[in-house]
Copies of this chain bind each other. A is one copy, B any other.
Amino acid sequence: MAPVSSQICPRPVGSSSVIQMAHGSGGRSMHELLARLLPLLPGTVHQNVRHDGAIIPVGMWQNLAFTTDSYVVRPLFFPGGDIGKIAVNGTVNDLAMCGAQAKALSCSLIIEEGFCVATLERVMASMAEAARVAGVEIVTGDTKVIDGGSGGNLFINTAGIGAVSPGIAINPSRIVSGDAIIISGDIGRHAVAVMSARSDLTFTPPIESDSMPLTALVQALIEAQIPIHCLRDATRGGLASTLVELAESSGCGMAVVEKEIPVSTQVRGVCEILGLDPVYLANEGCLVAIVAADFAQSALKVMRTVASGERAQLIGVVTSDHPGMVMMSGQYGTKRTVPMLSGDQLPRIC
């Protein structure tokens, strides 16, 4: 683990070691910066950099999925990931939640004046590696420089487009009473990893972010012809907020059994010490799948064959009771209503 924050920059040697306002001007300085950064994204963004956009052949796609996310996580580096890795995986996963395979990403940087160029290069290399792993290309981009502040801020927007296979319709309106609620893995690791980097807490072994692409997991379900009614990755607001969102938008109730929700021993320990509820902790590689009741076991079996779904668990059922609400059965048989996250447990988590 090397939670090097962006503030740790080699001593400036010449004008190009930190970002200056001129790097956002559209002139020579910006082109010099891009010439330094773009080779770090081999085979991806640089072929389109001298045009205003990328052209992508549509071929036989029937439907296109389109999504966007900005990433503002602090610190930029944390155990198991960094802002670049989650900027790629987060958007790839939003496409996967539509049943789409990511085809192309854009990358738009907002960089604070004074930001360390070497740190920027490290983030770009991380994006390139994440894109390679996820099998997606970064095809177009933009760079802006803002003034003020400590020079420590970097924001990354990635938008993504993906192809949706014919016949796929995954959205909250398809959720019906009786459906099975499955989670793909253990929760809370991303939030705890960011928290540990932010507060210089060190765990042994380190608790690492779960940031990873979920495309293979979703495609395995699609290929196995599991009737997927809805998918949602449990990011900001955690599993609890995700379930409440799905309950509210589908008009159904969700009945969840707390002890079935996978939480690692380490994350559970941190939650107990700090008084956190793991169901509100953000994840970056964990999805909720709502599937037709009869396919719960076959869905679980398929998910467990994929690395990102090895710890998949059936955690509850959709019900016509308490419409729009999530009820959780606790470890001693108690039942409680689960509200959406109120306030913020941990801001700037992604």
Show the binding face of A for B, using Cβ within 8 Å. 21-22, 24-31, 50-58, 61-72, 93-95, 97-98, 100, 104, 106-110, 139-142, 144-149, 153, 155, 157, 159-162, 164, 171-172, 232-233, 235-238, 241, 245, 249, 280, 282, 339-345, 347-348
- Contact check, A70 vs B27: say whether CB atoms are below 8 A apart: no
Q: Are A145 and B347 closer than 8 Å at their CB atoms?
A: yes
Name the residue of chain B whose CB is nearest to the CB of A155. B110
| Docked-complex contact B58 and A62, CB < 8 angstroms | yes
Residues of B within 8 Å of A64, CB to CB, are 55-58, 64, 161
Complex: how many Å from CA A326 to CA B142? 24
Given A21-B344, A28-B341, A98:B55 Cβ within 8 A: yes
Closest chain B CB from A146 CB (angstroms): 5
Task: Give the residues in chain B near A340, CB-CB below 8 Å.
Answer: 27-28, 31
Asked if A344 and B65 sit within 8 Å, CB to CB, the answer is no
CA distance A142 to B149 in the complex (A): 24
Partner of A70, one of B65, B144, B232, B249: B144
User: Are B98 and A161 neighbours in the complex by a CB distance under 8 Å?
Assistant: no
Chain B residues with CB below 8 A from A159, complex form: 66, 68, 106, 108, 157, 159
